[in-house]
């Protein structure tokens, strides 16, 4: 049992290592990524400063909170980025999923750890230095407390689990739809709107907030950020973490059911 | 009980009729129109340990479908498959530990990394211990001549190099069975030769059971000891290669190119010789070695005539295959 877990974990680590190595291969990309993140931060800071127009607080949020939100949430977003839905859908569409299934390893693990490996490179080696640089120059708010940081860290991990659960579900829909065109729509549109990546949910109109309440997307970046910035009390923090756990459980059950169904009438296309 | 047994296997696919437009895609989630296609129908065969079987058939005959069911990634609609006591589609991951699969048209390698990185990952994935890994890697590197490119990024490799690497990876964990789906597709003569020798060597050294599909009859002729032929989802031949060739024995063809000045239209009085085809000054004659010998045929068709060239064509496995495919089609039409 334990030996089994150890060998599985070592395969996962190896997959992450390889993905990390792939990302390192293209050095020019890295340079451009640095620059584009820098520009992006600069633009967002200008926009928010202009929107605040000298006011201290808007909806109870200060400008410095907002700028911290921009930086730190961009880091969380890049850690919890997931494109596996499109990858799975395309593999289903062109039949390469057959290749993956010939291996003695869980399909989702294979594809998920590969992406996490790449994400670690992009967030820690590229984005984090930019965040730190800007943070040093314009004073980003550090976490409200050590405990907040720990809880923030846990909720980010939960958030990542939710993202991969959702993406796996979107991806598997391709078995029924036989196309992958829908993926961008559901994953991008819903994420942008309800995860609060671009505009934090603080500034949303009531009805959007209400819809967002019943969806899992806000638990990916927005709620962990609230914990980071100390915008929620200990009771609310507990509710956030618990809700995340409930969402993870629900998504896991849905994935299991779908995967069973997929295996029952799996069709590998082509050749 | 045999090592691999396939009993009454059928696989049906639903072919969905797709319509354009987002509304239709959404609609198609709930109700879809489809027709049923039988990829394979009621096939039976059994394979013993250590056999080297060629599995052939025209495009769309059901070869890959069979391989996918054998490797556990497709579930048959009906029938039963056992591979070394396991039911592959019921325990896919467990089964995967014991088999090696190469899909000639799809690479398993990391595109941006050197081949050896993929080897590393597969070593961990298949729980291959270090000594076995080293031994196998040396053995394969040597046999497949991979030394020159094992440290190069995959994207810089030629098709043949990638194929060799893919085959080595599939065999890294000493699987008891390998399924090779078109392992020589798109390769030049030398590369094909190299891969054929390698497959034979592995089969001999490690007693690996090999099932390979191909369109290249030379693959089969040179390395397999058994042939299974499938067409339209049904097995049309299963047996030794030598027996298969006997089917066409005696069917020889003589090609004669006549000189300019000769009147080339003449009547074949000997019924043992048949005129197969003519093209300008060339004529193709078919005869059976059991009825008439080649010398007799030559003397008959060249008598009193000026001849520029004579060509003798022995029956080839490819011709037999073509004939069998054609016979199938006629059967279906009638």
Beta carbons of A7 and B64 less than 8 Å apart = no
pLDDT digits (tens, 9 = 90+) for B58-92: 888 888 889 989 998 888 889 999 999 999 988 88
Which residues in chain B land under pLDDT 70? 1, 18-19, 28-29, 32, 247-250, 260-267, 314-318, 328-334
- Contacts of residues A189-192 at CB distance under 8 Å and 24 or more positions apart, as own/partner, are A190/A215, A190/A217, A191/A217, A191/A220
Q: To which H or E segment does residue B282 belong?
A: strand B282-288
Whole-angstrom Cα distance, residue B175 to residue B101?
9
pLDDT digits (tens, 9 = 90+) for B237-295: 899 888 887 765 657 788 888 876 555 566 677 778 888 888 878 888 888 877 888 88
Q: To which H or E segment does residue B211 belong?
A: strand B209-214
| Residue that is written with structure tokens 């998920």 in the block | A112
- Residues near B40 by Cβ (< 8 Å), separated by ≥ 6? B9, B10, B11, B62, B65, B66, B230, B233, B234
Chain A contact set for B14 (CB, 8 A) = 267
SS3 content of chain B, % helix, strand, coil (to 5): 35, 30, 35
Chain A contact set for B101 (CB, 8 A) = 102
Are the CB atoms for A171 and A85 separated by under 8 Å? Answer: yes
| Residue that is written with structure tokens 């200008």 in the block | A46
Beta carbons of B113 and A271 less than 8 Å apart = no
Residue B36 pairs in a beta bridge with B14
- Residues near A100 by Cβ (< 8 Å), separated by ≥ 6? A91, A107, A110, A111
Beta carbons of A271 and B94 less than 8 Å apart = no
pLDDT digits (tens, 9 = 90+) for A142-165: 887 889 999 999 999 999 999 999
pTM score, two decimals?
Answer: 0.81
Beta carbons of A7 and B127 less than 8 Å apart = yes
Whole-angstrom Cα distance, residue B288 to residue B198?
37
């Amino acid at each position: 049992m334990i030996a089994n877990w150890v060998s599985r974990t070592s395969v996962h680590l190896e997959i992450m290592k390889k993905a990390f190595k792939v990302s390192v291969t293209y050095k020019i990309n890295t340079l451009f990524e640095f620059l584009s993140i820098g520009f992006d931060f600069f633009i967002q800071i200008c926009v928010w400063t202009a929107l605040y127009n000298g006011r201290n607080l808007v909806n109870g949020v200060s400008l410095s909170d907002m700028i911290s939100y921009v930086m730190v949430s961009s880091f969380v977003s890049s850690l919890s980025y997931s494109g596996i839905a499109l990858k799975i859908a395309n593999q289903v569409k062109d039949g390469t999923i057959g290749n993956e299934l010939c291996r003695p390893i869980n399909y989702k693990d294979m594809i998920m750890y590969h992406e996490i490996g790449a994400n670690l490179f992009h967030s820690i080696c590229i984005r984090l230095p930019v965040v730190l640089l800007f943070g040093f120059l314009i004073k980003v708010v550090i976490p409200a407390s050590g405990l907040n940081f720990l809880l923030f860290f846990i909720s980010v991990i939960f958030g990542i689990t939710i993202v991969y659960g959702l993406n796996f579900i979107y991806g598997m829909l391709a078995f029924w739809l036989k196309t992958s065109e829908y993926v961008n729509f559901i994953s991008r549109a819903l994420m942008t709107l309800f995860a609060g990546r671009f505009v934090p949910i603080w500034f949303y109109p009531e009805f959007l907030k209400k819809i967002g309440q019943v969806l899992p997307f806000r638990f990916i970046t927005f709620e962990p950020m609230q914990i980071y910035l100390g915008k929620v009390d200990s009771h609310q923090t507990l509710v956030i973490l618990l809700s995340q756990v409930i969402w993870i459980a629900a998504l896991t059950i849905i994935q299991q059911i779908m995967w069973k169904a997929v295996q029952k009438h799996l069709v590998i296309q082509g050749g | 009980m045999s090592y691999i047994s396939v009993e009454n296997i059928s696989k049906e696919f639903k072919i969905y009729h797709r319509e354009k437009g987002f509304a239709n895609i959404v609609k198609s989630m709930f109700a879809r129109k489809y027709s049923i296609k039988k990829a394979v129908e009621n096939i039976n065969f059994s394979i013993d340990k250590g056999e080297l079987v060629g599995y052939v058939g025209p495009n769309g005959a059901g070869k890959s479908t069979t391989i996918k069911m054998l490797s556990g990634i497709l579930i048959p609609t009906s029938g039963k498959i056992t591979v070394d006591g396991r039911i592959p589609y019921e325990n896919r991951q467990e089964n995967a530990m014991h088999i090696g699969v190469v899909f000639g048209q799809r690479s398993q390698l990391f595109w941006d990394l050197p081949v050896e990185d993929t080897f590393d990952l597969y070593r961990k994935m298949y729980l291959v211990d270090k000594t076995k890994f080293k031994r196998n890697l040396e053995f394969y590197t040597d046999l497949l001549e991979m030394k020159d490119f094992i440290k190069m990024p995959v994207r810089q490799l030629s098709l043949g190099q990638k194929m060799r690497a893919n085959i080595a990876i599939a065999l890294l964990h000493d699987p008891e069975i390998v399924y090779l789906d078109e392992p020589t597709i798109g390769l030049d003569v030398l590369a094909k030769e190299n891969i054929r020798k390698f497959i034979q060597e592995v089969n001999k050294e490690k007693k690996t059971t090999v099932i390979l599909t191909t369109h290249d009859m030379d693959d089969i002729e040179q390395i397999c000891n058994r042939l299974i032929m499938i067409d339209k989802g049904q097995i049309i031949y299963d047996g030794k290669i030598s027996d298969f060739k006997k089917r066409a024995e005696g069917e020889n063809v003589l090609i004669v190119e006549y000189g300019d000045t000769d009147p080339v239209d003449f009547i074949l009085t000997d019924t043992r010789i048949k005129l197969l085809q003519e093209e300008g000054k060339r004529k193709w004659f078919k005869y059976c070695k059991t009825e008439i010998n080649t010398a007799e045929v030559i003397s008959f068709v060249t008598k009193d005539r000026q001849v520029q060239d004579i060509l003798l064509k022995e029956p080839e496995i490819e011709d037999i295959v073509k004939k069998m495919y054609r016979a199938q089609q006629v059967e279906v039409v009638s």
